[in-house]
Amino acid sequence: MQIRLSALIGLLGSMLLLGTAAGAAGLRSAGPAATPQAVQDFQDVPTNSPFYTYVHNLFVDGVVGGYTCGGPGEPCVPPGNLPYFRPGANVTRGQNAKFTDNGRRVLTGAYAGSSPDNGLFSAINTDFSTTSNTGLYGQGATGVWGDSHTTGTTDGFGGYFINFNTGGSTGRQIGAYAEAYGWGLMGVSVGSTSGQTSAGVVGQSVGAGGAGGVFTATQGANSVGLVAAGRAGAALAGDGAAVFASNDGLDVGGMGGPSYGIFVQQPTGDTNWSLYGNAHIHGSNIASADYESEVVYDGAAPLALGRVVALDPANAMGGPLGVLPADAAQADAAIGVVSYRLTTALVNGVAKPMIDAPATAVQPGDHAYITILGRVALPLPVGAKVGARLAVGANGTAALAATGDPSFGRVASQPDATGVGYVLVDFK
């Protein structure tokens, strides 16, 4: 079923007789297809009339009710005893006002038209040149309200918006746009179906390189790109991975192999952290090339990277620990191998430490990372073979460990042309 403004005006304002050739030619082009299994509503409007669909739509929507049969020239015809529409009667200004007022109330009934006019009311604006040229405009406490009721296995949509860009525009294409003070878009789920879990908002992209959801905030104070709260704050799953909400801030799942639960590119600029937090990381399957701790170098002379350092006996509570070049005399105080010199960068006005990648040595007073567990590169002693135990030599160098000597690691590779090789260290 369908109502068009042009058809309504033509019907209400004309004095055409139903069934005439002139009337049919004048309105048929604006009308929808005939109603399947049409039911006659008025005794004087047969279902094969070219105006039947329009009159039928007005009848089911309560716009017109007709005249009770039994009057002069309008006999009741069993078994329906249908009312009469009186299509040949003139329409007064008062009657036209009632028609118009009734016609803008509630539209009901089954749709009987054909695509692309897919509803009881179709508002089509064929000027596609400007964004503000709308097909339908609604204003009120709620601008537009959609309420869906479906039966059987039919999908239901409270509101359905399609943008296939058939006009070929090069501008941005948006399926639905919401702008508001407060929340631009809100979705509330009150339950699940047999094939769906409960979700407030679901975003899905089927295009290559697309994103199911993109959330962007301004750089204003306290702006946040995404806020998520629930049994788990957020659950993120790679393709085919299962994730279970576990009362965590973030639950992440990956397929394994080359697919990780979390993968972060090395950051650049003033965002110098892949992961940053004040809490510890705990897990039974953490893999890394090395585990490091920040220290301050308290030695009097520069110290090359790859040298073993020991705790400074003058260390007091507070701040990073101080270290000195290790030697055999205080091998028990050796705690790591200098792996990186640290510098600082401003992040939101706060100086944050970052790795000084080009540096080859640390200077007195420098902050540094020391590797306390894992793989590290350092100059190997002459004759060291893979698997050989290493002990602390003079000025933080590595020496081959003798029987009974404390050992901080084992040689893990052949040396390169400069004599540097990999060592697996363990200063636990």
Residue 266 has pLDDT above 80, yes or no: no
CATH 3.40.50.970 fits 290-426, yes or no: no
Instruction: Provide the pLDDT confidence category of residue 219 given band limits of 50, 70 and 90.
Output: confident
Residue 63 has pLDDT above 70, yes or no: yes
What is the reported pLDDT for 283? 64
- Structural contact between residues 175 and 163, judged by C-beta atoms closer than 8 angstroms: yes
Q: Tell me the whole-structure pTM to 2 decimals.
A: 0.51
How many CA atoms lie within 13 Å of 144's alpha carbon, on the beta-carbon side?
12
Average pLDDT over residues 335-347: 87
Taking the C-alpha atoms of residue 174 and residue 21, their distance in angstroms, rounded to an integer, is: 46
Residue 19 has pLDDT above 70, yes or no: no
Among 153-157, 255-259, 359-363, the minimum mean pLDDT is found in: 255-259
Average pLDDT over residues 43-62: 89
Among 180-194, 263-277, 299-313, 364-378, the minimum mean pLDDT is found in: 263-277
Strands 334-347, 367-379: pairing kind? antiparallel
What is the reported pLDDT for 92? 94
Average pLDDT over residues 394-403: 91
Tokens for 20, please give them: 């005439």
Among 65-69, 144-148, 217-221, 411-415, the minimum mean pLDDT is found in: 217-221
What is the reported pLDDT for 238? 83
Taking the C-alpha atoms of residue 38 and residue 47, their distance in angstroms, rounded to an integer, is: 6
What is the reported pLDDT for 86? 94
Among 33-47, 50-64, 331-345, the minimum mean pLDDT is found in: 33-47
Average pLDDT over residues 39-53: 93
Residue bearing the bigger pLDDT, 24 or 408 = 408
Return mean pLDDT, the chain.
82
Instruction: Provide the pLDDT confidence category of residue 387 given band limits of 50, 70 and 90.
Output: very high
Among 114-118, 188-192, 331-335, the minimum mean pLDDT is found in: 114-118
Instruction: Provide the pLDDT confidence category of residue 13 given band limits of 50, 70 and 90.
Output: very low
Q: φ and ψ at 369, to 5 degrees?
A: -100, 135
In our burial notation (b when 16+ CB lie closer than 10 A, e otherwise), range 168-188 reads: eeeeeeeeeeeeeeeeeeeee
Taking the C-alpha atoms of residue 175 and residue 205, their distance in angstroms, rounded to an integer, is: 12
What is the reported pLDDT for 123? 83
Residue 20 has pLDDT above 80, yes or no: no
- Structural contact between residues 175 and 185, judged by C-beta atoms closer than 8 angstroms: no
What is the reported pLDDT for 390? 94
Average pLDDT over residues 188-214: 89
DSSP alpha helix (H) spans, 231-295: none
Tokens for 112, please give them: 């009987």
Instruction: Provide the pLDDT confidence category of residue 34 given band limits of 50, 70 and 90.
Output: very low
Average pLDDT over residues 161-167: 87
Residue 303 has pLDDT above 90, yes or no: yes
Three-state DSSP at 399 gives: strand
Q: Which long-range contacts (CB under 8 A, 24 or more apart) does 344-348 make?
A: 345/270, 345/272, 346/270, 347/270, 347/271, 347/272
Expressed in percent and rounded to 5, the helix, strand and coil fractions of the chain are 10, 20, 70
Average pLDDT over residues 224-228: 88
DSSP string, 168-215: ---S---S-----SS-S--------BTTB---S------STT--S---
Instruction: Provide the pLDDT confidence category of residue 112 given band limits of 50, 70 and 90.
Output: low
Residue 222 has pLDDT above 80, yes or no: yes
Average pLDDT over residues 15-33: 35
Residue 5 has pLDDT above 50, yes or no: no
Residue % of the chain over a pLDDT of 70: 84
Average pLDDT over residues 367-389: 92
Among 76-80, 137-141, 278-282, 331-335, the minimum mean pLDDT is found in: 278-282
User: Hey, where are the domains in the chain?
Assistant: 5-103, 290-426
Cα–Cα distance list, 110 to 107, 129, 144, 270 (Å): 10, 33, 21, 61
What is the reported pLDDT for 359? 94
The candidate with the shortest Cα–Cα distance to 1, out of 175, 152, 119, 96, is 119
Taking the C-alpha atoms of residue 275 and residue 263, their distance in angstroms, rounded to an integer, is: 10
Residue 16 has pLDDT above 60, yes or no: no
